[in-house]
Chain A
Amino acid sequence: MVEAEPIPQHVQEKIERVHTADLVVGVLADLDPSALAALCDALRALPRTPRIAVLRDDHSPDPSPSNSPAANNSSPFLVPWPLLSPDAPDTPMLNMSSAYQSVFAASEKLGARACCVIASNLDAPSPAWVRQLAQPLLAENVDLALPFYARHKFEGLVNSSIIAPLTRCLYGRQIHNPMGPDLGVSQRLYQKMLGADRSARNGGNRLHSIASLAPAALCDNLLVCEVYLGARIYAPTDWVNISSLIAEVLSPVFLDMERNAACWQRMRASLTVPALGDPVLISEDKGTVDIRRMVESFHLGNRDLGEIWGLVLPPSTLVELRKLARLPLEQFHMPDELWIRIVFDFALAHRLRTINRDHLLQSMTPLYMAWVASYAHDLEGAGAAAVDQRLERLSVAYETGKPYLVSRWRWPDRFNP
């Protein structure tokens, strides 16, 4: 496969006009001009007035002269750049990943000490949060600044149920949003990512620009911190494509598990990481939720995908799933221990290529729906504190179950009842 160049030829000259920068900010979020201006103002308030280049996602072929770096002689320099390709709507994760790669490449070209990516719109946006994300990278030699969003209990569920607790259990750091998407990266880390990308072109192991950032930083003992941000605005659920999206998100996570097996098998307990700023409190909706659709999805999966699950999951898990399928809706509850074993067994099957990897990850969707239904059932009407406790319980269950993963990973052929 021919990989796209991180910096397309037609934008090379735009970036060269800026010459150098201390900080590069890639804006992938859809910001209106006033929000962009506020963001630039916030960046100007950074201590020691660093030279900043703002790469703004823009697909207009001929940017207006007022926006061009040549016309704008004061920092931050606005560089219009088509970071996100509109031609690849079916693979949003890959599209995002290549946008991150472009930001890293531009940062290297400008010799930036750090770069930030702004990919989300926040519920109650405050321009200061961009500054909060950039400041530890420039002032405190942090290598990776990750967001700690104020969370609504039913949002970012793939992250809450799999990515965050799995990262915590594997790499031993309690980070809440390992895949950002709003984050700050030091020169050391982005150069590592670019180096891996170049070696991938020569047949090496390719790192995913978003999913591999946190594991790469944690395995290299780089300094990681979290920055409190407001609530992120998530896209509404696309029920038609949800299984493909889940597969697209989980695939690089499982690939990283395979790549970093030597690293995560050494890690034992988890530690907290420094959190900067003030937690943002949001009101929690205490209304009822309808979990019938998700439970129905699980029942269908249990009826029709048993043959595929049988190749991945051990008999005891299959028995548990059958018991779960017999429960009435009001008693529906998937134990965390069962869920984490499912995640671990799917990660192992992904490594062993037990079946086609896309099929494998997509066949996990009904099981994920069962966990979400169970979680929603548990937290219906619960407040923020109960949500935090519930997710902490899940993370602890992941850590407790880690010996099972290590054992299965090392001896996959051993009898597993």
Chain B
Amino acid sequence: MWDQIKQELAQSTARFLTRLANLLPGILALILALLGSIVVAWILAAIVRRLLTSMNFDERLGRWGFPSIADWSPLRSPTRLVSRSIAILVIASGFLIGIAAFDSQWPSLFARSVFAYIPNMIGAALVLLFGNIVARFLSRSVLIGAVNLNLHYARFLSIGVKWLVLVLTVAMALDHLRIARSIVELAFGILFGGIVFALALAVGLGSKDLVTKSLERDAQKPGDEHVEEPFRHI
């Protein structure tokens, strides 16, 4: 019996050592892939940083309407944010490639599924970026237009439009990422409808007095002549 136990122990130790030996090339490949990706990431980040610095990316970003990006960038520099993001992406890709080098099923399946998900992530990021640009453009258009119409709630309108577009964008991005689709649809419907309803109520209630005054004026002074201003601009 003792011999049998010894034999079993020897066999399991041999199996463990064999498995470990089988893993070693994979681990080595993972370390090499990681080291290679770190070097590539460092070179790429340096190139991107120099390129963006030479085109005054930080200042331009502010001019394009994204000054808040600086607030959540390392050292308040969007250039560093972009270069570090690229470096992290490259290192993550290297890690996934290293994992795929293991001669077993689950790591390669995991790597494959992560790689298959990357287009969705890129698509969602593009949707977010485009939505942000559209939101800022529309909000600025509404703000300027409303101020020029002497509307006192110009900023409120502009913020409303901005958030409507942003909420729509985030919902589209989450849908693209296939994250809790049914919840996102429901939440988006409720949130979007709520914002529109709130805006309608706010504008309706806000303009109630205006309409009342206008109607009263028309009713009280039917024959009142239009007073023409002397100013001619163009």
Contact = CB atoms under 8 A, between A and B. Distances in A.
Interface stretch (A45-53, A129-137, A361-369): A361-369
A235 B63 contact: no
A354 interface: yes
B228 interface: yes
A337 interface: no
Nearest to A312: B63
Interface residues of B, number: 25
A349 to B, nearest CB: 9
Contacts of B148: 242-243, 297, 362, 365-366
A157 B231 contact: yes
A172 interface: no
A1 B153 CA distance: 37
B222 interface: no
B86 interface: no
Contacts of A366: 147-148
Contacts of A236: 228-229, 232
A315 interface: no
B150 A237 contact: no
A293 B148 CA distance: 11
Nearest to B143: A304
B13 to A, nearest CB: 71
Interface string A287-304: 101100100110011011
Interface centre among A152, A235, A296, A359, by most chain B C-beta atoms within 10 angstroms, is: A359
Contacts of A303: 155
Interface string B112-136: 0000000000000000000000000
B25 interface: no
Contact of A354 (B63, B158, B229): B63
B147 A235 contact: no
B144 A158 contact: no
B14 to A, nearest CB: 72
A155 B140 contact: no
B19 interface: no
A107 to B, nearest CB: 26
B79 to A, nearest CB: 17
Interface in A213-243: 234-237, 239-240, 242-243
B193 interface: no
Interface in B94-124: none
Contact of A308 (B140, B149, B229, B234): B140
Contact of A243 (B62, B144, B152): B144
A290 B229 CA distance: 8
B63 A363 contact: no
A359 B232 contact: no
Interface centre among B62, B148, B158, by most chain A C-beta atoms within 10 angstroms, is: B148
Contact of A249 (B62, B141, B154, B234): B234
Contacts of B62: 311
Interface in B147-172: 147-152, 154-155, 158
Contacts of B151: 300
Contacts of A365: 148
A321 interface: no
B144 A305 contact: yes
A300 B154 contact: yes
A359 B144 contact: yes
B197 interface: no
A354 B65 CA distance: 10
A355 interface: yes
Contacts of B229: 236-237, 289-290
B130 to A, nearest CB: 16
B194 interface: no
Contacts of A106: none
B223 interface: no
Interface in A145-164: 152, 154-158
A285 B144 contact: no
A367 to B, nearest CB: 11
A362 to B, nearest CB: 5
Contacts of A237: 229, 231-233
B16 interface: no
A245 interface: yes
Contact of B145 (A158, A308, A355, A362): A362
A390 to B, nearest CB: 15
B132 to A, nearest CB: 15
A290 B147 CA distance: 19
Interface of B: 62-63, 65, 137, 140-141, 143-145, 147-152, 154-155, 158, 228-234
The 7 A-B pairs of least Cβ separation, nearest first, read A234-B232, A155-B232, A243-B148, A154-B230, A362-B144, A157-B233, A304-B155
15 contacts: A155-B230, A156-B233, A157-B233, A158-B234, A237-B233, A242-B233, A243-B144, A245-B234, A246-B233, A246-B234, A304-B158, A355-B140, A363-B144, A363-B147, A365-B148
Given A296-B150, A362-B145, 17 more contacts: A152-B232, A157-B231, A240-B149, A246-B234, A285-B230, A287-B230, A289-B230, A293-B150, A297-B150, A300-B154, A303-B155, A304-B155, A304-B158, A305-B144, A356-B140, A359-B141, A359-B144
